[in-house]
């Protein structure tokens, strides 16, 4: 049976990348619609008049813990797959408890499932890294986020317009689908690409850049927490609209960012997104609570969230190259996202409390926007320093194979590279690892390192980045002459 399914997925063109996106999208749809402040959970709590705040708060804290700690426990791709295969059935069982009246098992199920769900998100980092070349991970992240949010919308519509139990049943069906596809995921470590060259030299830079990125994520996602606790409740009377439109701007922003030309500088879009968040809260303060007001406020806020979610998902995806355990990098980075939501929610609850006089979340939100604007330039500096290879490789990889070969040939002639050195340089500039180069040229990794050392020596450089820079400059200078 399993062999037959594998043959079927092979015929359908389901490689590791597509399988991993399907698995994580199905699982994430359940998590977003039910576990992580999802509408299914709120609707079920409403049926029994049970306050959901305790479960929601405990669940967010548990997800945060699962994300942060996963990388310290799950250290191989095989272990990540095994985690999926026993966690997904547990999620099914824990979700089924909610078909029955409220009991202590509701709370236990939410806490335990949230902790494991955070771990599963982090563990997906192994497949995020192995299934997609580093300069294409923005596309994979966008595809996963788009698919999971579309499925989440469908589950939310079922819960709101049919019944909470119908939505819950459909979400369990998605978990079963995630388990089914997860069985086909490869577990061999050979598919995990080796760490980037000079990894030891980059480790310090990685820690600093990751820490600064986490600070930025926590700061800006405080606004998401405020949105959950302040903005969303203000439009609860528009349930027919909020049940489906909530994520539409988010998905649209992801789609636009995914399909921007790779040469296009996306940095300015981050500033536009910050402005959108500020305008959203200003609109919340100055506009009414009509349908038009909701459309304006939600479009600005969720559109900005889509821009930033894809920004740090793709940055974390590139950081995976510099650490042997991708679950640790992805988990720590995304735990900052959840921490920001948690802090924003706590602040929003405090502001909205009846004991508070003249609560004005807009002023706080605008203060957060100002802090974010201050953090963005140094963040860009940290990331540019760490991911400089990626920025250069993106330019080089967009050239046609003929143009790449032509530029390398001219540089090789200038520095008198041997034929084999030219071949190694060509593959090196395409972003390929030493192991991949060795396989394509039928030589050992040590031999590849020998040729790379010779190439660097002839050009009087020390890294792949400098090699790309020199080749581009030399060719541009020769064209000018």
Residue 192 phi/psi, 5° resolution?
Answer: -80, 125
Domain boundary among 346, 379, 412: 379
Whether residue 387 lies inside any domain: the answer is no
Cα–Cα nearest to 154, from 301, 38, 305: 38
What are the residue ranges in the chain where pLDDT is below 70?
Answer: 1-14, 189-205, 228-230, 262-267, 348-365, 380-416, 430-431, 463-466, 468-481
The confidence score (pLDDT) of residue 480 equals: 42
Q: Are 134 and 317 in contact (CB under 8 A)?
A: yes
Q: Report the alpha-carbon angle 89-94-95, nearest 5.
A: 95
Phi first, then psi: give them for residue 36, nearest 5 degrees.
-95, 80
The CATH number assigned to the domain holding 267 equals 1.20.1250
* Other beta carbons within 10 Å of 188: 10
Which residue in 111, 61, 68 sits closest to 91, CA to CA?
111
Shared domain check, 161 and 41: yes
How much is the pLDDT for 352?
Answer: 59
pLDDT of residue 404: 60
Using CB atoms within 10 A of its CB, is residue 263 exposed (0-12), middle (13-18) or buried (19+)?
exposed
> CATH no. for residue 87?
1.20.1250.20
Going 15 to 21 to 23 to 24, the CA torsion angle's sign is positive
Residue 200 has a pLDDT of 43
Q: Are residues 367 and 437 in the same domain?
A: no
Provide the greatest CA pair distance for the chain.
80
pLDDT score of 378? 75
Q: Are residues 239 and 178 in the same domain?
A: no
CA of residue 389 relative to chain centroid, distance = 20
Residues 169 and 255 in one domain: no
Q: Are residues 445 and 328 in the same domain?
A: no
Q: Is there a contact between 167 and 33 (Cβ–Cβ < 8 Å)? A: yes
55 and 177, same domain (yes or no): yes
> For residue 197, what are the CA distances in angstroms to 254, 465, 472?
31, 11, 21
**Is position 4 within any domain?**
no
The answer on 408 and 341 residing in a single domain is: no
Is the domain of 70 the same as that of 144? Answer: yes
Same structural domain for residues 329 and 279?
Answer: yes
Range(s) of the domain holding residue 279? 200-379
| Number of domains comprising the chain | 3
What pLDDT sits at residue 384?
A: 63
Q: What is the pLDDT of residue 194?
A: 41
């Amino acid at each position: 049976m399993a062999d037959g399914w594998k043959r079927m997925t092979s015929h359908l063109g389901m490689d590791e990348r597509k399988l991993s996106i399907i698995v994580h999208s199905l699982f994430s749809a359940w998590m977003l619609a039910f576990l992580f402040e999802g509408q299914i959970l709120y609707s079920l709590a409403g049926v029994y008049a049970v306050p959901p705040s305790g479960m929601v708060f405990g669940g967010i804290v548990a997800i945060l813990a699962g994300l942060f700690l996963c990388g310290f426990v799950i250290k191989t791709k095989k272990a990540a797959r095994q985690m999926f295969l026993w966690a997904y059935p547990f999620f099914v069982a824990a979700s089924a408890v909610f078909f029955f009246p409220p009991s202590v098992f509701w709370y236990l199920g939410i806490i335990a499932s949230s902790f494991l769900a955070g771990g599963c998100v982090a563990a997906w980092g192994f497949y995020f890294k192995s299934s997609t070349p580093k300069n294409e991970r923005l596309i994979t992240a966008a595809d996963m986020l788009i698919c999971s949010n579309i499925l989440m919308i469908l589950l939310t519509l079922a819960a709101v317009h049919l019944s909470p139990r119908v939505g819950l049943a459909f979400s369990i069906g998605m978990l079963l689908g995630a388990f089914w596809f997860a069985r086909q995921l490869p577990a061999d470590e050979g598919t995990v690409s080796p760490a980037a060259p000079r990894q030891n030299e980059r480790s310090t830079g990685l820690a600093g850049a990751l820490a600064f990125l986490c600070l930025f994520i926590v700061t800006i996602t405080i606004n998401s927490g405020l949105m959950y606790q302040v903005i969303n409740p203000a439009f609860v009377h528009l349930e027919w609209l909020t049940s489906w439109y909530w994520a539409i701007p988010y998905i649209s922003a992801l789609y636009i960012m995914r399909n921007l030309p790779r040469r296009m500088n996306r940095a300015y879009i981050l500033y536009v997104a910050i402005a959108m968040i500020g305008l959203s809260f200003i609109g919340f303060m100055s506009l009414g609570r009509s349908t038009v007001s909701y459309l304006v406020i939600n479009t600005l806020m969720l559109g900005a969230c889509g821009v930033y979610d894809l920004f740090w998902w793709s940055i974390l995806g590139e950081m995976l190259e510099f650490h042997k355990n991708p679950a640790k990098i992805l988990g720590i980075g995304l735990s900052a996202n959840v921490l920001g939501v948690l802090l924003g929610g706590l602040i929003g609850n405090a502001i909205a409390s009846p004991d508070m006089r003249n609560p004005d979340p807009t002023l706080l939100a605008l203060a957060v926007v100002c802090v974010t604007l201050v953090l963005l330039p140094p963040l860009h500096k940290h990331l540019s320093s760490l991911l400089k290879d990626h920025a250069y490789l993106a330019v080089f990889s967009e050239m046609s194979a003929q143009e790449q070969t032509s530029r390398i040939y001219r540089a090789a002639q200038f520095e008198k590279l041997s034929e084999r050195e030219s071949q190694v340089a060509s593959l090196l500039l395409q972003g390929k690892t030493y192991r991949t180069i060795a396989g394509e040229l039928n030589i050992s990794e040590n031999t590849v390192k020998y040729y790379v050392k010779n190439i660097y020596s002839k050009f009087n450089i020390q890294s792949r980045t400098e090699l790309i820079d020199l080749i581009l400059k030399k060719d541009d200078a020769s064209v000018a002459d």
